[in-house]
Amino acid sequence: MHAGINVVLKAEQLGSVFGFPITNSLIMAWAVMALLIGFAYFFGRSLSMVPGKLQAGIEWAFEGAIAYMADVLGSEALAKRFFPLVASIFIFVALINELEFFPGVGSLGLVHASDFLPVLRAPTTDLNFTLALAMISFFAIEITGIASLGFFKYAGKYVNLKSPIGFAVGLIELMSNLGRLISFSFRLFGNIFAGEVMVLVAGYFLPYVLPAPLMGFEMFIGLIQALVFAMLTLFFIKLAIMDPHGEHA
């Protein structure tokens, strides 16, 4: 018998170390980090001049991504400078989202005071993770803008005292800029969390049959969301390095 759908909005705390909370999303973030860093370490050491299929595929993706970024930013040097940030956002978020429906994630856990506490939870369904990524993206964009245009010129985009309309436009720009923090974090969190809930509800109505195709669909959505986060970071960097008149810095 089903005990009902148990949807928990926040990541469950499994314990604490010196007062620091250890949540299931934090543990999964560490697991994904270990996977990624392990793969990068061994793959980076096995690179050869005559590539195998995996290396050829990854090289193709690298070159394609850098070419696209150079196209967007208008400079290959800028593309190479921001490639690690944009690519890491995509790879980290995409891997987390793809592993979200793997066996064990959300299903293996501890029973504490008759409550089931899963050991692993996709960090993208924890607002702390999406907010952290949004802040990194936000600060990267702002610092890039200030470094490219200079503090006063960049601030001039948001504080314009030359005309009332310019002032209003500047204020709107400032609000939309700060709003990115919310939109970045809640878009990713909302999409992935909603997907997880949808699969849960589907499993309640039509177990074994309906969740499987929905999981496939949600994995696709996870990939798209990772791409959206990375691409928006790229586009906002592009906007930040453009001067107020729309010319390239």
Partner 1 sequence: MNQLFAAFGVNWSLIIAQAVNFGIVLIALRYFLYKPMMTMLNKRQELVAKSVSDAAKAEELFAGADAEAASRVHAADTEAEKIVAVARESANAEKARLLKEAEERAVLVAKDAEARAAEALERARRESERDIARLAVLAAERVLHDQS
- What secondary structure does DSSP assign to the chain, as a single string? --------SSPPEEEEETTEEEEHHHHHHHHHHHHHHHHHHHHHHT--SS--HHHHHHHHHHHHHHHHHHHHHS-HHHHHHHHHHHHHHHHHHHHHHHHTTSTTTTTSEEEETTEEEES---GGGSHHHHHHHHHHHHHHHHHHHHHHH-HHHHHTTT---S-HHHHHHHHHHHHHHHHHHHHHHHHHHHHHHHHHHHHHHHHHHSTTTSHHHHHHHHHHHHHHHHHHHHHHHHHHHHHHHB-TTS-B-
Q: Which is nearer to partner 1, 4 or 44 (CB)?
A: 44
Nearest distance from C-beta of residue 162 to partner 1, angstroms: 35
Q: Which is nearer to partner 1, 133 or 232 (CB)?
A: 133
Q: Which is nearer to partner 1, 44 or 246 (CB)?
A: 44
Q: Which is nearer to partner 1, 118 or 123 (CB)?
A: 123
Q: Which is nearer to partner 1, 80 or 112 (CB)?
A: 80
Nearest distance from C-beta of residue 188 to partner 1, angstroms: 12
Nearest distance from C-beta of residue 150 to partner 1, angstroms: 26
Nearest distance from C-beta of residue 131 to partner 1, angstroms: 5
Nearest distance from C-beta of residue 67 to partner 1, angstroms: 12
* Residues within the interface to partner 1 (CB under 8 A): 9-11, 20-21, 23, 26, 29-30, 33, 36-37, 40-41, 43-45, 47, 49, 58-59, 62-63, 80, 83-85, 87-89, 91-92, 123, 126-129, 131-133, 135-136
